[in-house]
């Protein structure tokens, strides 16, 4: 009898252990399901907020003055802190935006060699390596099938660059690739507007003292064309226009709970044509 009771006790303990394990599993599974559902809801809300911010930014670009103004219109708080040189700002629904006028970037397809070399030098390359990298970038896109600047084991694109990451085949370090990605573009050609260049490009092209002055003035929303010309000595010419273009890169980051949604869009705005808003490229994460 005692032996049977002992066996029964062991069986009861085993059953309790199995039930406990199952209960723990179901509890853990339920928590995971709730967490996944919450994440999906948060991600959907973050995407809604991002698209709302995108629509408001594009509408403002089409309807507001793009020159520095002392205070925003009372009916559009969207542009209280916006800028066109990639400094992050928050929209009214707390989405982080980086808005870049593509005229403020260097054209990577047909680069101004002096400006591109200065950018590469500022990024950390010595004078020789910067010169070589610049010539390699040009040779990579050249229609000529052979170049002294492309090693025999590397097959060049021999056409316009589609993405800066391509230049990794030339052996450019990740730091230089990152600087090029932020300060050059393949989506515009023609004129350059250093008034809307990112801070890094300003430091590369100007003396530190002048760059710091320009950055300070535009951060305070006081930088006018006259002020910029006086400070830098740069005037409008065949390849420089000190006014924003109709080509923009808009990078948005929306956060709700633990969910994060990132989106980068390249817009060509053409108010007098159809379509008015032409999405040149879209990158989403």
Domain range for 95: 39-104+247-284
The pLDDT confidence band at residue 4, using thresholds 50, 70 and 90, is low
**Residues with Cβ < 8 Å from 84, sequence gap 6 or more?**
66, 99, 100, 101, 104, 196, 244, 248
Q: Distance between CA atoms of 157 and 137, rounded to whole angstroms?
A: 10
The pLDDT confidence band at residue 65, using thresholds 50, 70 and 90, is confident
114 and 201: one domain? Answer: yes
- Core vs surface per residue 189-217: b (16+ CB within 10 A) or e: eebbbbbbbbbbbbbbbbeeebbebbbeb
Q: What are phi and psi of 265, to 5 degrees?
A: -125, 140
**Residues with Cβ < 8 Å from 273, sequence gap 6 or more?**
none
Give residue for tokens 């670009």: 61
Mean pLDDT score of the chain, rounded to an integer? 85
99 and 127: one domain? Answer: no
User: Helices in 64-122 by DSSP H: which ranges?
Assistant: 113-122
Segment 105-147, tens digit of pLDDT: 999 988 899 999 999 999 999 999 999 999 988 888 887 777 7
Least confident of 12-16, 72-76, 160-164, 234-238: 72-76
For residue 110, is it within any domain? yes
The answer to whether 262 and 252 have CB atoms below 8 angstroms apart is yes
83 and 118: one domain? Answer: no
Q: Distance between CA atoms of 255 and 244, rounded to whole angstroms?
A: 29
Mean pLDDT of 210-229: 93
pLDDT of residue 266: 93
For residue 33, is it within any domain? no
**Residues with Cβ < 8 Å from 248, sequence gap 6 or more?**
61, 84, 99, 100, 101, 102, 266, 267, 269
59 and 171: one domain? Answer: no
130 and 201: one domain? Answer: yes
181 and 208: one domain? Answer: yes
Segment 5-55, tens digit of pLDDT: 566 666 666 776 677 776 676 667 666 665 667 778 889 999 999 999 999
In this structure, what token pair is assigned to residue 73? 């219109």
pTM value is 0.82
pLDDT of residue 6: 61
pLDDT of residue 229: 95
169 and 69: one domain? Answer: no
Q: Distance between CA atoms of 128 and 17, rounded to whole angstroms?
A: 72
Segment 99-116, tens digit of pLDDT: 999 999 999 988 899 999
Percent of the chain, pLDDT > 90?
47
The pLDDT confidence band at residue 151, using thresholds 50, 70 and 90, is confident
Q: Domain count of the chain?
A: 2
**Residues with Cβ < 8 Å from 166, sequence gap 6 or more?**
140, 157
């Amino acid at each position: 009898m005692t032996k049977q009771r002992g066996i029964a006790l062991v069986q009861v303990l085993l059953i309790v252990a199995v039930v406990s394990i199952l209960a723990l599993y179901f509890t853990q599974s339920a928590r995971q399901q709730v967490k996944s559902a919450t994440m999906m809801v948060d991600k959907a809300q973050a995407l809604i907020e991002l698209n709302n911010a995108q629509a408001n930014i594009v509408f403002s670009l089409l309807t507001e003055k793009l020159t520095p103004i002392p205070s925003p219109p009372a009916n559009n708080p969207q542009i209280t802190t916006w800028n066109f040189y990639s400094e992050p700002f928050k929209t009214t629904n707390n989405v982080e935006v980086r808005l870049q006028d593509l005229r403020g970037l260097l054209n990577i397809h047909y680069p101004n060699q002096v400006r591109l070399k200065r950018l590469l030098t500022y990024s950390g390359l010595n004078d020789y390596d910067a010169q070589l990298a610049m010539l390699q970038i040009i040779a990579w896109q050249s229609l000529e099938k052979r170049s002294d600047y492309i090693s025999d084991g590397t097959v060049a694109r021999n056409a316009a660059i589609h993405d800066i990451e391509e230049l990794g085949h030339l052996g450019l370090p990740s730091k230089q690739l990152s600087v090029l990605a932020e300060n050059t573009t393949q989506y515009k050609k023609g004129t350059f507007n250093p008034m809307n260049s990112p801070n890094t490009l300003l430091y590369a092209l100007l003396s530190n003292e002048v760059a710091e002055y320009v950055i300070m003035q535009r951060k305070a929303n006081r930088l006018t064309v006259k002020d910029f010309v006086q400070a830098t000595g740069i005037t409008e010419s065949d390849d420089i226009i000190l006014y924003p273009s109709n080509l923009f890169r808009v990078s948005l980051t929306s956060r709700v709970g633990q969910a994060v949604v990132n989106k980068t869009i390249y817009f060509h705005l053409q108010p007098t044509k159809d379509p008015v808003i032409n999405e040149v490229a879209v990158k989403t994460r």
